[in-house]
Amino acid sequence: MDTTITTTRPLESFAPALPAPVIQSEPAAAFPRARTSGRRKHLLFASIAALFATILIAIIIFHGYVAWMLAYPYVAPLTSNPQAAIGTAYEDVVFPSHSGETSVSGWYVPAASDGGDGASSARTVVFSHGYGANREEDWVPMYDLTKLLHDLKYNVLLFDYGYASTQYKAPATGGREESQQLLAAVEYAKSRGAEDIVVWGFSMGAGTALQTALLTDEIDAMILDSLFIPSSEALFDNLNQFVPLPRFPSLPLIESMIPLWTGSSFGSIPAEEVIATPYDMPIYIIHGTKDVKAPFDTAEAIAANQSNALSRSWIVQDGQHELLFRAHPREYVQRTALFLSQVDGQVQAKREG
C-alpha cells in the first residue's frame, strides 16, 4: 500500500529550534547619567567663575569708594566766625584759584589798629589748614592763633581748600590744585596791601605751603606745624590706621583710581623736590616725636636742608599730630611770636639795605 505523506511545511521547520542570539546593550539610563554629570561640571565651573567675578567686582568697587573718600573727605561745616568766636571784625571774601579751575572762599581779618588812626597793617599771615579740616580747625586751635596775630598787628587770611568748601566743592588733589588755591590767597593778601606775607600751615596744609613756595617768591616766611608731605605711601599708611588693608592689591588699585576722581595722580606731587629744596625764606618747622600721621624724621630732613639764618625746628618730645599748641600753649606762642619778630626784622633790613 502506497502511503504518501504530504505537508506544506519545509523540512527545515522540523529541525530543533535554536535559542535566539542575545545582544548585549548599555542600559538605557547610562547616557542620561553621563550627560547629567557633564552638566553638573559645567554648572560648578560657571558658579565658581561667577563667584570670582563677583568678588573681583566687589574689590574694585570698594577700592573705588576708598579713592573717592580720599578725594572728597568728610569735613564738618563751619560753626562760627571770627566775630562770634574771638570778637574781631572780619570780611567774607571769595577769589579764583590761580589756575582758574576752582574758587576759594574765606575770611579776611584786619589787624588791630593803633589808637584808631585807621592805618592798615602791611603784614599778613595766611593760614593753610590741614586735610579733613576747614579754616576753623578748632583742635589747632585756629581762632586762638588768629587772636594772637590780630593783637600783634598782623592781618589774617583764613580760607577753605576746595575739599573743605561747601559752596565751592572740589576734590582733594594732594597739593596740585591746593597749591594754586594757596597761591591765589597769597595774591589776594598782596592785593589788600600786604608787603610781608607769612604762610602758617598745618599737616597737609604745611606740605602744600612748601609746594606753593616752589611757585612764587611772594612768601617771606613759613611756619609749618606737623608737616605732612602727601604721597601714595603716606596716604596709604594713614588710611591703614582706620581700615586695615593689604598693601597689594589695595595700594596699586587706589593709586590707579585716584585720577578718576581728582584728575591728577600721586606722581604729580613733587614730594622729593619739596624735601630736598633749600628755600630762601626762613622756615620754622614744629613737629612731635609721637606724630603717627607724619613721621618727624621727614620734618627733620627738610629742616636740615635749610640755609636761611632764621630757619629752625622745634621737635616736641611726645608731641602728637597738630596737638602741639594744646600740649605747650605758652611755649608755642613764645616761640612763634619770637620767630615772627625776627622775620619782620630781617625783612625790614633787606628793604632798607
pLDDT per residue as tens digits for the range 211-249: 999 999 999 999 999 999 987 777 778 777 777 888 889
Q: How confident is the model at residue 41 (pLDDT cuts 50, 70, 90)?
A: confident
pLDDT of residue 244: 84
In a domain, 31, yes or no: no
In a domain, 127, yes or no: yes
What mean pLDDT comes out for the span 51-56? 94
In a domain, 236, yes or no: no
What mean pLDDT comes out for the span 25-52? 76
Least confident of 22-31, 143-152, 209-218, 336-345: 22-31
> Is residue 294 within a helix (H) or strand (E), and if so which, with residue range?
none
Q: How confident is the model at residue 11 (pLDDT cuts 50, 70, 90)?
A: very low
Considering the chain, what is the average pLDDT of its residues? 89
Q: How confident is the model at residue 14 (pLDDT cuts 50, 70, 90)?
A: very low
Domains held by the chain: number:
1
pLDDT of residue 15: 47
- In terms of Cα–Cα distance, which of 176, 227, 235, 237 is closest to 199? 227
Which CATH number does the domain housing residue 298 bear? 3.40.50.1820
In a domain, 325, yes or no: yes
- Model confidence over 93-142: pLDDT tens digits? 999 999 999 999 999 999 987 655 556 899 999 999 999 999 999 999 99
Q: How confident is the model at residue 30 (pLDDT cuts 50, 70, 90)?
A: low
**Looking at the chain, how many residues does it have?**
353
In a domain, 145, yes or no: yes
Share of the chain above pLDDT 90, in %: 71
What mean pLDDT comes out for the span 143-157? 97
pLDDT of residue 29: 53
- Angle between the N-to-C axes of helices 247-262 and 30-71, in degrees from 0 to 180, rounded to the nearest 10: 60
pLDDT of residue 113: 79
pLDDT of residue 115: 57
What mean pLDDT comes out for the span 61-85? 94
pLDDT of 2 strictly over 90: no
In a domain, 238, yes or no: no
Q: How confident is the model at residue 25 (pLDDT cuts 50, 70, 90)?
A: low
Report yes or no: 215 and 183 within 8 Å, Cβ to Cβ: yes
This model's pTM is above 0.75? yes
Strand order of the β-sheet with 283-288 is 91-96, 103-109, 155-159, 123-128, 196-202, 221-225, 283-288, 312-316
Q: What does the block give as the cell for 194?
A: 600786604
What mean pLDDT comes out for the span 164-168? 95
In a domain, 41, yes or no: no
- Model confidence over 261-309: pLDDT tens digits? 988 876 678 989 999 999 999 999 999 999 999 999 999 999 999 999 9
CA distance 3 to 259: 118
Report yes or no: 294 and 271 within 8 Å, Cβ to Cβ: no
- If one counts every other C-beta atom within 10 angstroms of the C-beta of residue 339, the result is 21
DSSP states along 4-39 = ----SS-GGGGSPPPPPPPPP---TTHHHHHHHHHH
pLDDT of 20 strictly over 60: no
In a domain, 20, yes or no: no
pLDDT of 3 strictly over 80: no
Phi, psi of 111 (to 5 degrees): -65, 155
pLDDT of residue 74: 94
- In terms of Cα–Cα distance, which of 150, 175, 147 is closest to 162? 175
Residue span of the structural domain in which 329 resides: 79-230+269-352
Q: Is 261 helix (H, G, I), strand (E, B) or coil?
A: helix
pLDDT of residue 38: 77
